Amino acid sequence: MHPRALLLVVPLAALLTGCGSDELPTSDPLPAPEVVPIAEARALPVDEYTQIEGFVSVPAGTFVTATGDFGFAIQDDTGGIYVSLYEELKILIGAKIRVIGKIAQVSKQTVLVTNVTGPELLQGIEAVTPKDVATGEVNESTEGLLVRVKGIVSNPIVEDKPYGIKAYVDDGSGEVEIYVCFAGDKPLIDTTKLTKGTAVEITGFAQQYLDRYEIAPRGAVDLVIVPPPSP
């Protein structure tokens, strides 16, 4: 198995005794923890049981080829986080979700591990607006958020099949990796347009994989080719 998927599948499955079932661990039934802001949940120690709510920025299963799970991402006014989910569940972008689970560190990324009974759909829907950041500012402070960068494709793409494709964008503040997952046998965005020297606008989920930070686009609308200025 590819190391990117392996690092997600093995540690996360071990955190929930009910992984593959419909229940969170029940050996010592616990009362539901209080709902806390996402930034507060992100600061909790590993294995801490917590509950958060926010709006979906990445639909469930979008990154399955790279993560090996059907997770999704949510954010509130304080921050964002990836929610790892091993059972397939229809959770759409913009939905308001309350979710309960355990904090984990996976390939150095902070995630919340849950299962099919963890997420609760709440009333309300809200489009999550990406945060505009410089390419060199995609770091720990942006991890878990939906972000948008503008810059020049700085290097040729690198294939990482069947898990994804790596592209690179730089606005002069530092290069950032764009990790494009696959949907079936095709990448989520048209990577043939990411030729070196092309000006682009990329929206995606800011994530960490080991010692590097990446932006993971969610679909075709997350790539905009910027036309050259008029003479």
Residues 6+ apart with CB under 8 A from 211: 108
Mean pLDDT of the chain: 89
- Quickly state the pLDDT bin for 16 (edges 50, 70, 90): very low
Of residues 216 and 31, more confidence is placed in: 216
- Quickly state the pLDDT bin for 161 (edges 50, 70, 90): confident
- Quickly state the pLDDT bin for 162 (edges 50, 70, 90): confident
- pTM score, whole prediction: 0.88
The pLDDT, as a whole number, for residue 103 is 98
Q: Which pairs from 161-166 meet CB under 8 Å and 24+ separation?
A: 162/65, 163/2, 163/4, 163/5, 163/65, 163/66, 164/4, 164/65, 164/66, 165/191
Q: What percent of the chain has pLDDT over 70?
A: 86
The pLDDT, as a whole number, for residue 29 is 57
